[in-house]
Amino acid sequence: MRIISGTYRGKKLLSPASEAVRPTSDRAREAVFNILYSKLSGALAEYSLLDVFSGSGAFALEAVSRGIQKVGMIDIDTRPLLKNTALFPKEKNKISVMRLDACNLPPASEKYDLLFMDAPYNQGLSERALQQLQLKGWLKPGALCMVELERGEQIMLPDGYEQIDERRYGLAKVLFLKLR
């Protein structure tokens, strides 16, 4: 795993020791960022990103490398996240790691403009986490949400989310949603 673009292009990230963590492929990450840029009304530096089910933190750290204002990373096991965020000491003021259960969140202390979520496949976790994020106020109105799922996985979008795009990458698909 490595950072694809930006200030830290080529920087290697530590791969998780656990098979339970399945990082988004470099190819899919690059494609998602290209689509994200086309959907933003300003520069990435104007936005904050919440990465839920962060795993290794590769997506959020890619955003840091590309100049995002701030990232929050949520996972129930933050050990892989902490190892990788330690590789970015100059960016520590931009990065927040939270050891939380995405399906049982506390009320938000701040709201985010963007969401990337890559839950374990086919367990219904994405749906529950989307509900929690909205209910507990983690996302700003109009937030752009990118949700990675297994290619054949179905999801019932909670009220308030509208699907605006879908892309497929190998065994995965990414839904682009807008929070109303």
- pLDDT the model gives residue 25: 72
- Burial code (b: 16+ CB inside 10 Å, e: under 16) for 109-147 equals eeebbbbbbbbebeeebbbbbbbbbbeeebbbeebbbbb
Residues linked to residue 166 through DSSP beta bridges, in sequence order: 175
CATH code of the domain in which 36 resides = 3.40.50.150
- pLDDT the model gives residue 88: 98
112-117/172-179 β-pairing:
unpaired
Give domain status of residue 9, yes or no: no
Q: Which residues of the chain have pLDDT under 70?
A: 16-23
How many domains are there within the chain?
A: 1
Give domain status of residue 4, yes or no: no
Domain of residue 149 covers 26-179
> pLDDT for 128-165, tens place per residue?
999 999 999 999 999 999 999 999 999 999 999 999 99
- pLDDT the model gives residue 22: 62
pTM of the predicted model, to two decimals?
A: 0.95
Give domain status of residue 106, yes or no: yes
